[in-house]
Chains A and B, each alone.
Chain A
């Protein structure tokens, strides 16, 4: 089975900190995605990548950046965390149109 691993289940960070959320997939998928999930808003796409060193903005990229130096790893970076970035963050990879999700990272910014 495809496995998508997010390095942390829970994180608490202070306002202004630089935060790295890591995601690794083990099935050589080309496509990787970062979503955030908030109550009543559903899942919203932050960034996605179709290949190494390639990135595309999703619907809500402001305040975030990403890095994909290796095919299996897609990192989400909060350059200066703010309280409105408190959320559940979900990473996914896909082969064609079949998606696999990680277990999520619940980030709290205080």
Chain B
């Protein structure tokens, strides 16, 4: 059964730092991996989607990588800002087309 793990569960860094959030999955048979952002009490916003055949995707200051063979993805945030504070969730679409979720990393950017 596919399991998705995100480490760390929470992270606090000073503004301006570059940072990396980690996501690992147990079964490499995935269709894609997605990173979402969730602000407190709100729904989810899709940030990046990496197809299983891709190695990375970039959007502005965000870069997501995917290594299927090792079951890992990273979300790199450059030059962090207080507005980046949120919970970041990763999810994989498994071989049954179901979304399997990690528990999220709560990110706090200190001004």
Contacts and interface: CB of A to CB of B under 8 A. Distances in A.
A42 B41 CA distance: 14
Interface in B55-111: 89, 91, 93, 97-99, 101-104
B28 interface: no
A46 to B, nearest CB: 13
B93 A100 contact: no
| A interface bracket (residues with beta carbon within 8 Å of B) | 10 to 19
Contacts of B22: none
A99 B99 contact: yes
Interface in A43-68: 43, 45
Contacts of A6: 43
A90 B97 contact: no
Given A97-B32, A97-B93, A98-B49, A104 B103 contact: no
Contacts of B91: 43
Contacts of B2: none
Interface string B29-52: 001101010000111111001000
B49 A104 contact: no
A102 B91 CA distance: 16
Contacts of A100: 46
A42 B103 contact: yes
A93 to B, nearest CB: 12
Nearest to A43: B101
Given A98-B49, A99-B34, A42 B43 contact: no
Contacts of A98: 46, 49
A45 B98 contact: yes
Interface in A95-110: 97-104, 106
A99 B42 CA distance: 16
17 contacts: A33-B99, A40-B103, A42-B89, A42-B101, A42-B103, A43-B89, A43-B99, A90-B43, A90-B44, A92-B44, A99-B34, A99-B99, A101-B45, A102-B43, A103-B42, A104-B42, A104-B43
